[in-house]
Amino acid sequence: MELKYKELEDNIRLVELNGALDMNGTYAIQVEFVRACEGDHARVLVDLSKVSYLSSVGIPMLVNTAKSVIEHGGKFALLNPQKAVADVLDLTGISQVIRIHPDLRTARADLAFS
C-alpha cells in the first residue's frame, strides 16, 4: 500500500491510496494516514481509485479517521472507489455514513465550508 498526500489550492487535503487495504496494507499506512487527516477544521478527500481491495481491517481506519475529522469540525469524503471497493462500502453501510463522490469536482463542492 502506498499513500500520497497533497494540498489542493482550496485547502482540501487529498490523500491518494494505491494498493490493497488489507491487513498488511492498512498497517503499513495507518499512522501516516491518520497524521495526514489531523487538525481542526480539516477538509479531507481520500482518493480510492487505485485501491483494489478493502478488508475488514481497512474499514475501521477509514471510519475512525472520518469520525475524528468530523469531531474536530472538519469534513471527510471518499473519491472514486473501484467497483469492488464501492461494493464493500455499500455492503457494510459505510456509504450511508461517509460521503462518496465519483469525481473531484463534486467532491470539492461538497467539502467547501459554507
Over the stretch 34-45, which tens digit does the pLDDT of each residue have? 999 999 999 999
CA atoms within 13 A on the CB side of 43: 14
User: Across-strand partners of 44?
Assistant: 13, 76
Beta carbons of 49 and 21 less than 8 angstroms apart:
no
In a domain, 99, yes or no: yes
In a domain, 65, yes or no: yes
Element (H, E) at 52: strand 43-54
| pLDDT attached to residue 36 | 97
In a domain, 89, yes or no: yes
In a domain, 19, yes or no: yes
Averaged pLDDT, 1-28? 96
Work out how many domains the chain is built from and give that number: 1
| pLDDT attached to residue 23 | 97
**Which pLDDT band holds residue 9 (cuts at 50, 70, 90)?**
confident
Number of Cβ within a 10 Å radius of residue 90: 13
Grid coordinates representing 109 are 463542492
Domain CATH for 96: 3.30.750.24
In a domain, 108, yes or no: no
**Residue 57 sits in which domain range?**
2-103
